[in-house]
Amino acid sequence: MENGGGDVPENANDHCPGTQSEAAGKADACAGCPNQQICATAPKGPDPDLLAIIERMNTVKHKILVLSGKGGVGKSTFSAQLSFALAEMDYQVGLLDIDICGPSIPKMLGLEGQDIHQSNLGWSPVYVESNLGVMSIGFMLPNPDDAVIWRGPRKNGLIKQFLKDVDWGEIDYLVVDAPPGTSDEHISIVQYLQVAGIDGAIIVTTPQQVSLIDVKKEINFCKKVGVPVLGVVENMSGLRQAFSDMKFVKPSEAGETDATEWVLNYIKEKAPELLSVVACSEVFDSSKGGAEKMCQDMEVPFLGKVPMDPQLCRAAEEGRSCFTDQKCSASAPALKSIIKKLVKTQ
Query: Is the distance from CB of 309 to CB of 328 less than 8 angstroms?
Result: yes
C-alpha pair distances (Å), 10 with each of 1, 7, 201, 214, 220: 10, 9, 21, 18, 11
Instruction: Please indicate if the annotation marks 336 as binding a ligand.
Output: no
322 assigned binding-site residue: no
Q: How far is CA 322 from the centre of its chain?
A: 17
H or E stretch covering 345:
helix 332-345
For the chain, helix, strand, coil in percent to 5 are 40, 20, 40
Distance CA 49, CA 47 (A): 5
4 is in an annotated binding site: no
74 annotated ligand binder: yes
CB atoms closer than 10 angstroms to residue 126: 20
Question: Is 30 flagged in the annotation as binding?
Answer: yes
- Asked whether 244 and 279 are in contact (CB, 8 A), the reply is no
133 annotated to bind ligand: no
Question: Is there a binding annotation on residue 70?
Answer: yes
Q: How far apart are CA 31 and CA 20, in angstroms?
A: 17
Closest residue by Cα to residue 302 from 255, 251, 337: 337
Cβ neighbours of residue 272 closer than 8 Å, sequence gap 6 or more: none
222 a known binding residue? no
Alpha-carbon Rg for the chain, nearest whole angstrom, is 22
Tell me how far apart the alpha carbons of residues 272 and 281 are, in angstroms, rounded to a whole number. 22
Annotated binding site: 16, 30, 33, 39, 69-76
Annotated binding site for ATP: 69-76
Annotated binding site for [4Fe-4S] cluster: 16, 30, 33, 39
